[in-house]
Amino acid sequence: MLSGSIYLQPPELPPPYLALLPLSVPLSFSGDNCMLCKKLTKRAGIEEPSVKIAGPLTYSESGANLPFTFELKNVGNAPVLFGTFHAWLEPFYYRSNIVAIQKRRCDNIKDQPVKNEFTIFPDKTYPSGGVSVAYSAIMPPDVIRAAQKATGKNVITMQVIGCVDYTFTADLRHHHQTRFTFTVLRRAPFPIFFTPGEAIPQEDLSFSWPEDISAD
């Protein structure tokens, strides 16, 4: 459940000037009405990504590789600027571990200069026009070996974790993110048990519903 504060623009000013001002009037929010709050303010907001498996899960000397495509939608009322997409393939031990890994990696992105991979206007999606963006989530060999050692098994349950990083005109100095988690399923609804060395066909793979979605 999300919790925190966002800030409304002064309502007496005409719309052209709103996006140029700092946010100033506090408004509390929590999970279900978070996206509504984004609509009420002059800000951008990315909902949970739509993802699809795009190829087989393979294993080589470089580790495990899972190709997938993603689609993003701006549910706010200001353009998403300097947008970037980040995702990693991770073994799942227990929830607190995967959340800590995601937080560390996404917080590190916030500490870096913004990059400009895409811009998304309000109520629009990226990519548009039926074009797909391919992405590969990779699990390095040392991570696989550590997972095997930690579990005492030769199989690994996998999740794709990541975040969409962006900013918008009214708050260009700060990174904003939508963070997401998807469990990789093998002939759903069973979590994948991946034996290093094997390849799993695309038709045997799917993603779970989005888990642990958070946005700021």
**What gap in Å lies between CA 190 and CA 186, rounded to an integer?**
6
| Residue 202 CB neighbours (<10 A) | 15
Residue range 53-98, pLDDT digits in tens = 999 999 887 888 999 999 999 999 999 999 999 999 998 876 668 8
In 3D space, the residue among 32, 42, 112 whose CA is nearest the CA of residue 77 turns out to be: 42
Highest-scoring range by mean pLDDT, 140-144, 186-190, 193-197, 210-214: 140-144
In 3D space, the residue among 67, 192, 204, 197 whose CA is nearest the CA of residue 144 turns out to be: 197
What six digits make up the tokens of 213?
A: 């979605």
Residue position matching structure tokens 């795009």: 54
In 3D space, the residue among 63, 86, 95, 57 whose CA is nearest the CA of residue 164 turns out to be: 86
Expressed in angstroms, the distance from the first to the final Cα of the chain is 12
Residue range 11-28, pLDDT digits in tens = 333 343 333 333 333 333
Q: What is the pTM of this model?
A: 0.75
Residue position matching structure tokens 């990059």: 115
